[in-house]
Amino acid sequence: MKTLRVGIASYEQMKARTLAIARGEYKPAADEPMVWFRSAESFARVLSDRNRALLGISAESTPESLAHLAELTGRQKSNLSRTLKTMERYGFVERSHGARGSVIPRVPFQQISLTLPLSKPGREGSDAA
C-alpha cells in the first residue's frame, strides 16, 4: 500500500532541515515525512473530513474529469478546482489534462500517515507546560 508520510514542523525547523540536506549534512531516511505542515491546524484545514472524503471518492472512482468528480461528490466544479489545486501543492492529488482540456484528478496514495510531535513545533526540549 502506497503511503504519503506527512510531518509537522515549524518554519525554522523546515528551513534548517532543508539547508542541512542541501549541504549534504543530513540524508532523510526513507520512512521520514515527505510533506510538511507548520501546524496540526493547517494539516486539519487541508485534510478536513470533507476533503478526505473527496480523496477517497477520487481514489475509488477514478473520475475521468473534474466535471465527473463534481457529479460524484455534489460539489461545485469551481470549489473542487480550488480544493484540488491546494491538495496538489501538498502532493495529495495529481492533476493531468485529458481530452478537450479536461482536468483529470488522481490520488497517488492509498493512505496518509501523520507524524505528530507531542510538543509544539519549535519548542522541543523546553520546559513549557
Domains of the chain are 3-115 (1.10.10.10)
Predicted pLDDT at 120 = 64
What per-residue confidence (pLDDT) applies to 126? 41
Question: Given pLDDT bands bounded at 50, 70 and 90, which one contains residue 1?
Answer: confident
Query: Looking at residues 64-92, what average pLDDT do you find?
Result: 93
In this predicted structure, the answer to whether residue 127 has a pLDDT above a threshold of 70 is no
CA distance 1 to 110: 6
* C-alpha–C-alpha distance, residues 73 and 62, integer Å: 12
4: its cell numbers:
504519503
Least confident stretch, 19-33, 80-94, 110-124: 110-124
Residues 86-105: b if buried by 16+ CB within 10 A, e if exposed: ebeebebbeeeeeeeeebbb
Distance CA 106, CA 54 (A): 11
Query: Model confidence over 21-69: pLDDT tens digits?
Result: 999 999 999 999 999 999 999 999 999 999 999 999 999 998 999 999 9
Residue 91 cell numbers, joined: 502532493
Q: Which three cell numbers stand for residue 8?
A: 509537522
Mean pLDDT of 6-18: 93
Torsion angle in degrees (nearest 10) through CA of 32, 94, 71, 100: 180
* Largest Cα span, the chain: 59
